[in-house]
Amino acid sequence: MPGSVIIQSYNPENFSIQCAKKQNYDMFYETELALRRQLKYPPFCDIIVISFNSLSEQEIIKVSNEFYEDIQKKFLNYLEKTGKQEEYKFFRPMPSPIDKIQNRYRWRIIIKGKMIDEINKIINNLLFEFYKKDIKTTKISVDVNPNNMM
């Protein structure tokens, strides 16, 4: 039985909405896949988000920058040995799009590249080192290919 769908949008000319309207799955799929390949988005690479949250703005800035320096140094050592430097892109620590929730500041580091076992080991070792330090109010989490980048 045929049905009808109502789509409410501020941008009805958006490519994905137009493809849905025309029920043109193949065009959407091919275009989206090409765009993801060009921008190095999943499934062509992984997006690793290392999130920090803290009650102290000074502490989160200090901790996230230290973590960035450590992870970049360890990654680069590994990547130089394997010749894969160009396959990873590091984005400096920045406030999250919603930078404060319930009096906790939120920052993040984004890394684009394949999440292979060696990279996972590097991140786990850095997390272990981080939690051995006496850091009072900052928490850290890692998400690979998050559903939400907020």
Q: What's the rounded mean pLDDT across residues 78-93?
A: 80
**Residue spans of beta strands (DSSP E) within 89-150:** 89-101, 104-113, 138-144
Q: How far apart are CA 55 and CA 105, in angstroms?
A: 6
What single-letter DSSP state applies at residue 85? G
* Residue 75 tokens, joined: 């990654």
Q: Let me know if 138 is exposed, middle or buried by CB neighbors in 10 A (0-12, 13-18, 19+).
A: buried
Residue-wise pLDDT tens digits, 14-63: 999 999 888 899 999 999 999 999 988 889 999 999 999 999 999 999 99
Amino acid identity, position 39: L
Distance CA 96, CA 64 (A): 12
Indicate whether 4 pLDDT > 70: yes
Q: What is the pLDDT of residue 95?
A: 96
Domains and CATH numbers, the chain: 1-39 (no CATH), 46-144 (3.30.70.600)
Q: What is the pLDDT of residue 5?
A: 80
95 burial class (0-12, 13-18, 19+ CB within 10 angstroms)? middle
Integer Cα distance of 64 and 128 in angstroms: 15
Confidence label for 85 from pLDDT (cuts 50, 70 and 90): low
Q: Is 32 helix (H, G, I), strand (E, B) or coil?
A: helix
Q: What is the pTM of this model?
A: 0.80
Proportion of the chain above pLDDT 90, given as a percent:
51
- Residue 41, pLDDT score: 87
Give the mean model confidence (pLDDT) for residues 4-20: 89
